[in-house]
Chains A and B, each alone.
Chain A
Amino acid sequence: MTKPAFRPFSFFGGKGGTGKTTCAAARALALAEEGIRTLVVSTDPAHSLADAFDIAIGEEIGLIAPNLWAIEIDAEVEAQKYMKGIQEKMLHIVSPVIVDEIRRQIEIAYSSPGAEEAAIFDKFIELMEKLNDPYEAIVFDTAPTGHTLRLLTLPEILGAWLEHLLEKRARAVELMSMVAKYDREVRQKLETDPITEILGKRKTKFETARRILTDPALCAFYFVLNAEKLPILETERAIRLLTKYGIPIGGVLVNRVIPEGAGEFLDRHRQAQQGYLQQIRETFSPLRITEIPFLDTDIRGINELDKITGLLKNL
Protein backbone atom coordinates (compact mmCIF):
# COMPACT_ATOMS: atom_id res chain seq x y z
CA MET A 1 0.00 0.00 0.00
CA THR A 2 1.19 3.50 -0.71
CA LYS A 3 2.00 5.86 2.09
CA PRO A 4 -1.07 7.97 2.84
CA ALA A 5 -0.84 11.74 2.86
CA PHE A 6 -0.03 13.34 6.18
CA ARG A 7 -3.03 14.89 7.89
CA PRO A 8 -2.51 17.31 10.76
CA PHE A 9 -5.54 16.27 12.81
CA SER A 10 -6.08 12.68 13.83
CA PHE A 11 -8.81 11.37 16.10
CA PHE A 12 -8.74 7.99 17.78
CA GLY A 13 -12.04 6.44 18.67
CA GLY A 14 -13.39 3.09 19.64
CA LYS A 15 -14.97 1.08 22.38
CA GLY A 16 -13.61 1.58 25.87
CA GLY A 17 -10.73 -0.72 26.76
CA THR A 18 -9.62 -1.49 23.20
CA GLY A 19 -6.43 0.48 23.65
CA LYS A 20 -7.17 3.65 21.80
CA THR A 21 -5.22 5.78 24.25
CA THR A 22 -2.16 3.61 23.70
CA CYS A 23 -2.61 3.90 19.94
CA ALA A 24 -3.04 7.67 20.11
CA ALA A 25 0.04 7.97 22.33
CA ALA A 26 2.12 5.77 20.02
CA ARG A 27 0.93 7.66 16.96
CA ALA A 28 1.83 10.99 18.54
CA LEU A 29 5.21 9.62 19.54
CA ALA A 30 5.79 8.29 16.02
CA LEU A 31 5.05 11.73 14.56
CA ALA A 32 7.27 13.46 17.10
CA GLU A 33 10.13 11.10 16.32
CA GLU A 34 9.86 12.08 12.67
CA GLY A 35 10.50 15.66 13.71
CA ILE A 36 6.90 16.87 13.52
CA ARG A 37 5.88 19.11 16.41
CA THR A 38 2.96 17.16 17.84
CA LEU A 39 0.34 17.83 20.48
CA VAL A 40 -1.56 14.93 21.97
CA VAL A 41 -4.91 15.74 23.57
CA SER A 42 -6.95 13.56 25.88
CA THR A 43 -10.63 14.25 26.40
CA ASP A 44 -11.37 11.00 28.13
CA PRO A 45 -12.76 11.65 31.61
CA ALA A 46 -10.72 8.66 32.79
CA HIS A 47 -7.51 10.32 31.58
CA SER A 48 -5.35 7.36 30.78
CA LEU A 49 -2.93 9.32 28.62
CA ALA A 50 -0.72 10.01 31.60
CA ASP A 51 -0.66 6.25 32.27
CA ALA A 52 0.26 5.45 28.67
CA PHE A 53 3.22 7.81 28.77
CA ASP A 54 3.89 7.15 32.44
CA ILE A 55 4.34 10.90 32.86
CA ALA A 56 2.11 13.34 34.74
CA ILE A 57 0.07 15.41 32.28
CA GLY A 58 -1.90 18.44 33.35
CA GLU A 59 -4.69 20.72 32.19
CA GLU A 60 -2.08 22.97 30.65
CA ILE A 61 -0.06 21.99 27.60
CA GLY A 62 3.32 20.58 28.64
CA LEU A 63 6.35 19.20 26.84
CA ILE A 64 6.75 15.50 27.59
CA ALA A 65 9.32 14.40 24.99
CA PRO A 66 11.27 16.05 22.17
CA ASN A 67 8.71 17.55 19.76
CA LEU A 68 5.86 16.13 21.81
CA TRP A 69 3.41 18.11 23.92
CA ALA A 70 0.43 16.77 25.83
CA ILE A 71 -2.70 18.06 27.53
CA GLU A 72 -5.57 16.45 29.39
CA ILE A 73 -8.81 18.37 29.08
CA ASP A 74 -11.02 18.27 32.14
CA ALA A 75 -14.57 18.96 30.99
CA GLU A 76 -15.74 20.01 34.42
CA VAL A 77 -12.95 22.51 34.91
CA GLU A 78 -13.50 23.93 31.42
CA ALA A 79 -17.23 24.32 32.03
CA GLN A 80 -16.56 26.03 35.34
CA LYS A 81 -14.16 28.48 33.72
CA TYR A 82 -16.77 29.33 31.12
CA MET A 83 -19.50 29.91 33.71
CA LYS A 84 -17.23 32.05 35.80
CA GLY A 85 -16.41 34.19 32.79
CA ILE A 86 -20.10 34.76 32.13
CA GLN A 87 -20.85 35.63 35.72
CA GLU A 88 -18.05 38.17 35.80
CA LYS A 89 -19.21 39.73 32.56
CA MET A 90 -22.73 39.89 33.92
CA LEU A 91 -21.64 41.87 36.94
CA HIS A 92 -20.24 44.50 34.61
CA ILE A 93 -23.42 44.79 32.59
CA VAL A 94 -26.36 44.32 34.93
CA SER A 95 -27.01 45.10 38.54
CA PRO A 96 -26.15 42.54 41.22
CA VAL A 97 -29.85 42.35 42.13
CA ILE A 98 -30.69 40.90 38.73
CA VAL A 99 -27.69 38.59 38.82
CA ASP A 100 -29.00 37.26 42.08
CA GLU A 101 -32.47 36.82 40.62
CA ILE A 102 -31.29 34.70 37.71
CA ARG A 103 -28.84 32.60 39.68
CA ARG A 104 -31.26 29.70 39.44
CA GLN A 105 -31.17 29.82 35.63
CA ILE A 106 -27.39 29.73 35.61
CA GLU A 107 -27.43 26.67 37.81
CA ILE A 108 -29.92 24.92 35.52
CA ALA A 109 -27.74 25.55 32.50
CA TYR A 110 -24.67 24.42 34.35
CA SER A 111 -26.16 21.05 35.10
CA SER A 112 -27.65 20.61 31.61
CA PRO A 113 -26.60 17.34 29.97
CA GLY A 114 -24.68 18.87 27.08
CA ALA A 115 -22.57 21.23 29.16
CA GLU A 116 -19.45 19.11 29.49
CA GLU A 117 -19.50 17.97 25.88
CA ALA A 118 -19.85 21.53 24.75
CA ALA A 119 -16.98 22.58 26.99
CA ILE A 120 -14.74 19.91 25.47
CA PHE A 121 -15.79 20.91 22.01
CA ASP A 122 -14.91 24.53 22.72
CA LYS A 123 -11.47 23.45 23.82
CA PHE A 124 -11.14 21.34 20.67
CA ILE A 125 -11.78 24.36 18.49
CA GLU A 126 -9.38 26.44 20.55
CA LEU A 127 -6.65 23.81 20.10
CA MET A 128 -7.38 23.36 16.41
CA GLU A 129 -6.77 27.04 15.91
CA LYS A 130 -3.25 26.45 17.20
CA LEU A 131 -2.29 24.44 14.13
CA ASN A 132 1.11 25.54 12.81
CA ASP A 133 1.35 27.82 15.79
CA PRO A 134 3.39 26.01 17.01
CA TYR A 135 2.02 22.48 16.55
CA GLU A 136 2.19 20.82 13.17
CA ALA A 137 0.04 17.87 14.16
CA ILE A 138 -2.62 17.32 16.80
CA VAL A 139 -3.65 13.86 17.92
CA PHE A 140 -6.94 13.58 19.80
CA ASP A 141 -7.47 10.63 22.07
CA THR A 142 -11.24 10.88 22.18
CA ALA A 143 -13.68 9.44 24.67
CA PRO A 144 -15.74 6.30 23.94
CA THR A 145 -17.67 6.00 20.70
CA GLY A 146 -21.19 7.26 21.38
CA HIS A 147 -20.00 10.32 23.21
CA THR A 148 -17.39 11.16 20.58
CA LEU A 149 -19.85 10.85 17.75
CA ARG A 150 -22.24 13.26 19.38
CA LEU A 151 -19.38 15.65 19.88
CA LEU A 152 -18.42 15.56 16.23
CA THR A 153 -21.96 15.93 14.93
CA LEU A 154 -22.53 19.00 17.10
CA PRO A 155 -21.49 21.55 14.46
CA GLU A 156 -23.98 20.11 11.99
CA ILE A 157 -26.95 20.34 14.36
CA LEU A 158 -25.91 23.55 16.02
CA GLY A 159 -25.19 25.35 12.77
CA ALA A 160 -28.77 24.95 11.60
CA TRP A 161 -30.09 25.95 14.99
CA LEU A 162 -27.99 29.09 15.18
CA GLU A 163 -28.99 30.13 11.72
CA HIS A 164 -32.62 30.03 12.77
CA LEU A 165 -31.92 32.06 15.89
CA LEU A 166 -30.00 34.68 13.93
CA GLU A 167 -32.87 35.06 11.48
CA LYS A 168 -35.33 35.56 14.32
CA ARG A 169 -33.15 38.10 16.05
CA ALA A 170 -32.57 39.99 12.80
CA ARG A 171 -36.33 40.22 12.24
CA ALA A 172 -36.91 41.42 15.80
CA VAL A 173 -34.18 44.03 15.50
CA GLU A 174 -35.58 45.21 12.17
CA LEU A 175 -39.03 45.67 13.66
CA MET A 176 -37.67 47.35 16.75
CA SER A 177 -35.67 49.86 14.74
CA MET A 178 -38.77 50.59 12.64
CA VAL A 179 -40.61 51.47 15.82
CA ALA A 180 -37.70 53.43 17.21
CA LYS A 181 -37.51 55.73 14.23
CA TYR A 182 -37.90 58.71 16.51
CA ASP A 183 -35.64 57.42 19.25
CA ARG A 184 -32.02 57.88 18.35
CA GLU A 185 -30.71 56.23 21.49
CA VAL A 186 -32.55 52.99 20.86
CA ARG A 187 -31.50 52.99 17.23
CA GLN A 188 -27.85 53.28 18.13
CA LYS A 189 -28.24 50.47 20.60
CA LEU A 190 -29.79 48.24 17.96
CA GLU A 191 -27.06 48.89 15.43
CA THR A 192 -24.58 47.10 17.67
CA ASP A 193 -26.82 44.34 18.91
CA PRO A 194 -24.69 42.12 21.18
CA ILE A 195 -27.04 39.16 20.75
CA THR A 196 -26.62 39.11 16.98
CA GLU A 197 -22.90 39.59 17.39
CA ILE A 198 -22.43 36.71 19.81
CA LEU A 199 -24.65 34.33 17.85
CA GLY A 200 -22.79 35.28 14.69
CA LYS A 201 -19.41 34.59 16.29
CA ARG A 202 -20.62 31.19 17.47
CA LYS A 203 -21.82 30.36 14.02
CA THR A 204 -18.48 31.23 12.46
CA LYS A 205 -16.75 29.05 15.04
CA PHE A 206 -18.94 26.06 14.25
CA GLU A 207 -18.50 26.57 10.56
CA THR A 208 -14.72 26.56 10.97
CA ALA A 209 -14.87 23.37 13.03
CA ARG A 210 -17.16 21.76 10.50
CA ARG A 211 -14.90 22.76 7.62
CA ILE A 212 -11.87 21.22 9.29
CA LEU A 213 -13.67 18.09 10.39
CA THR A 214 -14.99 17.30 6.93
CA ASP A 215 -11.78 18.07 5.06
CA PRO A 216 -10.02 14.80 4.14
CA ALA A 217 -6.78 16.72 3.60
CA LEU A 218 -6.85 18.03 7.17
CA CYS A 219 -8.23 15.36 9.43
CA ALA A 220 -8.76 11.65 9.75
CA PHE A 221 -10.66 9.53 12.21
CA TYR A 222 -9.14 6.20 13.25
CA PHE A 223 -11.03 3.41 14.93
CA VAL A 224 -9.31 1.12 17.35
CA LEU A 225 -10.89 -2.26 17.91
CA ASN A 226 -10.08 -5.77 19.02
CA ALA A 227 -10.69 -8.84 16.91
CA GLU A 228 -13.95 -9.64 18.64
CA LYS A 229 -17.56 -9.65 17.64
CA LEU A 230 -19.05 -6.62 19.41
CA PRO A 231 -16.29 -4.09 18.59
CA ILE A 232 -16.70 -4.93 14.90
CA LEU A 233 -20.42 -4.18 15.00
CA GLU A 234 -19.97 -1.00 16.93
CA THR A 235 -17.16 0.27 14.72
CA GLU A 236 -19.23 -0.44 11.64
CA ARG A 237 -22.09 1.60 13.04
CA ALA A 238 -19.79 4.44 14.04
CA ILE A 239 -18.13 4.56 10.63
CA ARG A 240 -21.51 4.66 8.94
CA LEU A 241 -22.57 7.61 11.10
CA LEU A 242 -19.37 9.57 10.56
CA THR A 243 -19.55 8.98 6.82
CA LYS A 244 -23.09 10.31 6.88
CA TYR A 245 -21.80 13.56 8.36
CA GLY A 246 -18.94 13.68 5.88
CA ILE A 247 -16.15 13.11 8.39
CA PRO A 248 -13.20 11.34 6.72
CA ILE A 249 -12.20 7.93 8.09
CA GLY A 250 -8.45 7.34 8.12
CA GLY A 251 -8.43 3.66 8.89
CA VAL A 252 -9.01 0.85 11.32
CA LEU A 253 -6.50 -0.36 13.88
CA VAL A 254 -6.84 -3.87 15.20
CA ASN A 255 -5.19 -4.00 18.58
CA ARG A 256 -3.99 -7.05 20.54
CA VAL A 257 -3.63 -9.44 17.63
CA ILE A 258 -2.10 -12.60 19.06
CA PRO A 259 1.07 -13.55 17.17
CA GLU A 260 1.92 -17.07 16.03
CA GLY A 261 3.61 -19.49 18.39
CA ALA A 262 2.27 -17.98 21.57
CA GLY A 263 1.60 -21.29 23.23
CA GLU A 264 -1.22 -23.77 22.99
CA PHE A 265 -3.77 -21.82 25.03
CA LEU A 266 -3.30 -18.57 23.12
CA ASP A 267 -3.08 -20.38 19.80
CA ARG A 268 -6.65 -21.51 20.22
CA HIS A 269 -7.60 -17.91 20.95
CA ARG A 270 -5.63 -16.91 17.85
CA GLN A 271 -7.78 -19.21 15.72
CA ALA A 272 -10.89 -17.30 16.75
CA GLN A 273 -9.18 -13.96 16.23
CA GLN A 274 -8.11 -14.90 12.70
CA GLY A 275 -11.76 -15.53 11.85
CA TYR A 276 -12.74 -12.09 13.13
CA LEU A 277 -9.73 -10.53 11.37
CA GLN A 278 -11.02 -11.96 8.11
CA GLN A 279 -14.40 -10.45 8.88
CA ILE A 280 -12.76 -7.09 9.66
CA ARG A 281 -10.92 -7.14 6.34
CA GLU A 282 -14.15 -7.84 4.50
CA THR A 283 -16.26 -5.33 6.40
CA PHE A 284 -13.92 -2.34 6.26
CA SER A 285 -12.32 -3.34 2.96
CA PRO A 286 -11.32 -0.08 1.25
CA LEU A 287 -9.99 1.35 4.52
CA ARG A 288 -6.42 0.80 5.65
CA ILE A 289 -6.29 -1.89 8.32
CA THR A 290 -3.34 -1.88 10.70
CA GLU A 291 -2.69 -4.82 12.98
CA ILE A 292 -0.99 -4.25 16.29
CA PRO A 293 0.35 -7.37 17.98
CA PHE A 294 -0.46 -8.46 21.50
CA LEU A 295 2.69 -7.80 23.49
CA ASP A 296 3.98 -9.77 26.43
CA THR A 297 3.87 -6.72 28.71
CA ASP A 298 1.62 -3.76 29.32
CA ILE A 299 2.56 -0.75 27.24
CA ARG A 300 3.58 1.92 29.70
CA GLY A 301 6.05 4.73 29.17
CA ILE A 302 7.81 6.06 26.11
CA ASN A 303 10.26 3.15 25.85
CA GLU A 304 7.46 0.60 25.68
CA LEU A 305 5.43 2.73 23.28
CA ASP A 306 8.43 2.73 20.97
CA LYS A 307 7.77 -0.97 20.32
CA ILE A 308 4.64 -0.11 18.31
CA THR A 309 5.43 3.35 16.92
CA GLY A 310 6.89 1.72 13.81
CA LEU A 311 3.47 0.29 12.96
CA LEU A 312 1.77 3.67 13.37
CA LYS A 313 4.16 5.72 11.26
CA ASN A 314 2.15 5.33 8.11
CA LEU A 315 -1.44 5.76 9.05
Chain B
Amino acid sequence: MGVRAVPFNFVKPFWSRIPCREFLKGRIDMPENGNETEKEQSVLESLKEWVSGMLFGSFVEIGTQAIRKEAFDINDNLMLLLFGDFLGIPNPISYYTLELLPYVAEELVPWERRMQNRKTIVAEKAGQYDFG
Protein backbone atom coordinates (compact mmCIF):
# COMPACT_ATOMS: atom_id res chain seq x y z
CA MET B 1 0.00 0.00 0.00
CA GLY B 2 2.77 2.33 -0.94
CA VAL B 3 4.19 4.71 1.63
CA ARG B 4 1.58 3.89 4.24
CA ALA B 5 2.90 0.40 4.56
CA VAL B 6 5.99 1.76 6.27
CA PRO B 7 5.42 1.88 10.06
CA PHE B 8 5.18 5.50 11.12
CA ASN B 9 7.85 5.44 13.77
CA PHE B 10 10.43 4.32 11.24
CA VAL B 11 10.13 7.57 9.42
CA LYS B 12 12.40 9.92 11.26
CA PRO B 13 11.10 13.49 11.12
CA PHE B 14 13.35 15.77 9.11
CA TRP B 15 14.18 18.03 12.05
CA SER B 16 15.71 15.15 13.90
CA ARG B 17 18.47 15.28 11.30
CA ILE B 18 19.08 18.95 11.85
CA PRO B 19 21.52 19.53 14.74
CA CYS B 20 19.10 21.95 16.35
CA ARG B 21 19.17 20.48 19.81
CA GLU B 22 22.52 22.00 20.57
CA PHE B 23 21.42 25.33 19.19
CA LEU B 24 18.16 25.39 21.10
CA LYS B 25 19.66 24.37 24.43
CA GLY B 26 19.10 27.17 26.88
CA ARG B 27 17.01 29.08 24.38
CA ILE B 28 13.86 27.03 24.79
CA ASP B 29 12.50 24.58 27.35
CA MET B 30 14.12 21.21 26.79
CA PRO B 31 12.41 18.22 28.34
CA GLU B 32 14.73 16.22 30.54
CA ASN B 33 12.75 13.02 30.79
CA GLY B 34 10.12 11.13 28.78
CA ASN B 35 10.64 8.93 25.74
CA GLU B 36 12.24 10.06 22.51
CA THR B 37 8.99 10.77 20.63
CA GLU B 38 7.61 12.89 23.44
CA LYS B 39 10.86 14.76 23.64
CA GLU B 40 10.80 15.44 19.94
CA GLN B 41 7.15 16.51 20.05
CA SER B 42 7.94 18.90 22.83
CA VAL B 43 10.97 20.27 21.03
CA LEU B 44 8.82 20.80 17.97
CA GLU B 45 6.20 22.68 20.01
CA SER B 46 8.81 24.91 21.57
CA LEU B 47 10.46 25.52 18.25
CA LYS B 48 7.15 26.53 16.72
CA GLU B 49 6.53 28.93 19.54
CA TRP B 50 10.01 30.35 19.26
CA VAL B 51 9.74 30.91 15.50
CA SER B 52 6.29 32.46 15.71
CA GLY B 53 7.51 34.66 18.53
CA MET B 54 10.44 35.77 16.43
CA LEU B 55 8.26 36.50 13.41
CA PHE B 56 5.76 38.36 15.60
CA GLY B 57 8.52 40.35 17.22
CA SER B 58 10.26 41.32 14.03
CA PHE B 59 7.26 42.10 11.84
CA VAL B 60 3.90 42.36 13.61
CA GLU B 61 5.05 43.82 16.91
CA ILE B 62 6.94 46.72 15.38
CA GLY B 63 3.90 47.67 13.33
CA THR B 64 1.52 47.58 16.24
CA GLN B 65 3.76 49.18 18.82
CA ALA B 66 2.62 52.69 17.96
CA ILE B 67 -1.04 51.72 18.15
CA ARG B 68 -0.45 49.90 21.38
CA LYS B 69 1.17 52.97 22.87
CA GLU B 70 -1.70 55.15 21.68
CA ALA B 71 -4.29 52.80 23.20
CA PHE B 72 -2.29 52.78 26.39
CA ASP B 73 -2.19 56.59 26.48
CA ILE B 74 -5.92 56.93 25.88
CA ASN B 75 -6.59 54.44 28.60
CA ASP B 76 -4.35 56.33 30.98
CA ASN B 77 -6.23 59.53 30.18
CA LEU B 78 -9.52 57.77 30.69
CA MET B 79 -8.34 56.55 34.07
CA LEU B 80 -7.42 60.13 34.90
CA LEU B 81 -10.94 61.28 34.04
CA LEU B 82 -12.50 58.43 35.98
CA PHE B 83 -10.31 58.37 39.05
CA GLY B 84 -8.70 61.79 39.06
CA ASP B 85 -9.86 62.33 42.61
CA PHE B 86 -7.36 59.73 43.80
CA LEU B 87 -4.67 62.13 42.62
CA GLY B 88 -6.43 65.16 44.06
CA ILE B 89 -8.36 66.31 40.98
CA PRO B 90 -12.04 66.75 41.83
CA ASN B 91 -14.38 64.57 39.84
CA PRO B 92 -18.11 65.28 39.65
CA ILE B 93 -19.02 61.64 39.32
CA SER B 94 -16.43 59.97 41.51
CA TYR B 95 -19.26 58.19 43.30
CA TYR B 96 -20.47 56.60 40.10
CA THR B 97 -17.07 55.70 38.72
CA LEU B 98 -16.56 53.55 41.80
CA GLU B 99 -18.72 50.95 40.09
CA LEU B 100 -15.89 50.46 37.62
CA LEU B 101 -13.35 49.84 40.32
CA PRO B 102 -13.61 46.04 40.29
CA TYR B 103 -12.72 46.02 36.60
CA VAL B 104 -9.79 48.38 36.73
CA ALA B 105 -8.49 47.47 40.18
CA GLU B 106 -5.45 45.70 38.81
CA GLU B 107 -4.46 48.63 36.60
CA LEU B 108 -5.07 51.19 39.27
CA VAL B 109 -1.91 50.99 41.33
CA PRO B 110 0.55 51.00 38.40
CA TRP B 111 -1.45 53.78 36.78
CA GLU B 112 -1.23 55.93 39.87
CA ARG B 113 2.51 55.35 40.02
CA ARG B 114 2.91 56.29 36.36
CA MET B 115 0.89 59.46 36.79
CA GLN B 116 2.90 60.55 39.78
CA ASN B 117 6.22 59.82 38.09
CA ARG B 118 5.51 61.70 34.89
CA LYS B 119 8.45 63.98 34.21
CA THR B 120 7.98 65.65 30.87
CA ILE B 121 5.19 65.08 28.45
CA VAL B 122 7.35 66.19 25.50
CA ALA B 123 9.95 63.52 26.16
CA GLU B 124 7.25 60.95 26.62
CA LYS B 125 5.65 61.84 23.32
CA ALA B 126 8.98 62.01 21.52
CA GLY B 127 9.77 58.51 22.73
CA GLN B 128 6.92 57.21 20.63
CA TYR B 129 8.53 58.15 17.35
CA ASP B 130 11.45 56.48 15.71
CA PHE B 131 13.86 59.27 14.80
CA GLY B 132 16.65 56.89 13.86
Complex contacts, A98 vs chain B, CB 8 Å: 105-106, 109
Which of B85, B102, B103 is within 8 Å of A108, CB to CB? Answer: B85
Stretch from B6-14, B28-36, B38-46, B64-72 contacting the other chain: B64-72
A102 within 8 A of B: yes
Q: Which of B77, B95, B108 contacts A112 (CB 8 A)?
A: B95
Q: Is the CB of A164 within 8 A of B98?
A: no
B92-A94 in contact (CB<8A)? no
- Given A93-B103, A112-B95, A172-B71, A102 and B81 contact (CB-CB distance below 8 Å): no
- Known: A105-B83, A114-B92. Contact between A176 and B71, CB under 8 A? yes
Known: A162-B93, A195-B100, A198-B99. A175 touches B70 (CB 8 A): yes
B86 shortest CB reach to chain A, Å: 5
* Beta-carbon contact of B108 and A179 below 8 Å: no
Interface size class of B (residues with CB under 8 A): 20 to 34
Q: Assess A178 versus B106: contact at CB under 8 Å? Given A86-B101, A164-B81.
A: no
Report whether A106 and B98 are in contact in the complex, using a CB–CB cutoff of 8 Å: yes
Does B16 have its Cβ within 8 Å of any Cβ on chain A?
A: no
The one of B64, B92, B99, B101 that contacts A105, using a Cβ cutoff of 8 Å: B101
Per the bound structure, the CA–CA distance linking A192 and B92 in Å amounts to 26
A99–B86 Cα distance when bound, in Å, is 15
Bound Cα distance from A182 to B100, whole angstroms: 27
Cβ proximity bits A162-177 to B, threshold 8 Å, 1 near / 0 not:
1011001101100110
Within 8 A of A (CB), among B53-80: 56, 60, 64, 67-68, 70-71, 74-75, 77-78
CA gap between A288 and B86 in the complex, in Å: 47
Cross-interface CB contact of B102 among A89, A164, A181, cutoff 8 Å: A89
Q: How far is the CA of A181 from the CA of B70 in the complex (A)?
A: 16
Q: By DSSP majority rule, is chain A's interface helix, strand, loop, or mixed?
A: helix
Query: What's the Cα separation between A83 and B77 when bound, in Å?
Result: 25
Q: Closest B residue to A104 by CB, please name it.
A: B86
Main DSSP-derived SS at the B contact region: helix
| Shortest Cβ distance from residue A166 to the other chain B in the assembled complex, whole angstroms | 10
Q: Is the CB of B85 within 8 A of A109?
A: yes
Contacts of B96 on A, CB cut-off 8 Å?
118, 158, 202
**1/0 per residue A59-94: CB within 8 Å of B?**
000000000000000000001001100100110111
Classify chain A's interface size: 35 or more
Across-interface contacts of B109 in A (CB, < 8 A): 98, 101-102
In angstroms, Cα B98 to Cα A144, docked, is: 27
Interface centre among B60, B98, B99 (most CB of A within 10 A): B98
B residues in contact with A112, CB < 8 Å: 85, 91, 94-95
Counting CB contacts under 8 A, is B104 at the interface? yes
Docked pose: A86 CA to B94 CA in angstroms: 13
Pairwise interchain contact A102-B108, C-beta atoms closer than 8 A: yes
Partner of A175, one of B67, B81, B100, B106: B67
> Closest Cβ of chain A: how far from B45's Cβ, in Å?
18
Q: Does A157 contact B (CB under 8 A)?
A: yes
- Cβ-based interface call for A161 (8 A): yes
- Complex interface: chain B residues within 8 A of A182 (CB): 56, 60
Query: Which of B68, B98, B104 makes the CB contact (< 8 A) with A195?
Result: B104
Contacts of A194 in B (CB 8 A): 100, 103
17 contacts between A and B (CB under 8 A): A83-B98, A93-B103, A101-B109, A102-B101, A102-B108, A102-B109, A105-B101, A109-B98, A112-B85, A114-B93, A115-B94, A165-B81, A172-B71, A175-B67, A178-B64, A198-B99, A198-B100
List 10 additional contacts besides A112-B94, A175-B74; criterion CB under 8 Å: A79-B95, A90-B102, A94-B102, A102-B101, A118-B96, A162-B93, A168-B74, A168-B81, A176-B68, A202-B96
* Chain B contacts to A: CB under 8 angstroms: 56, 60, 64, 67-68, 70-71, 74-75, 77-78, 81-83, 85-86, 91-106, 108-109
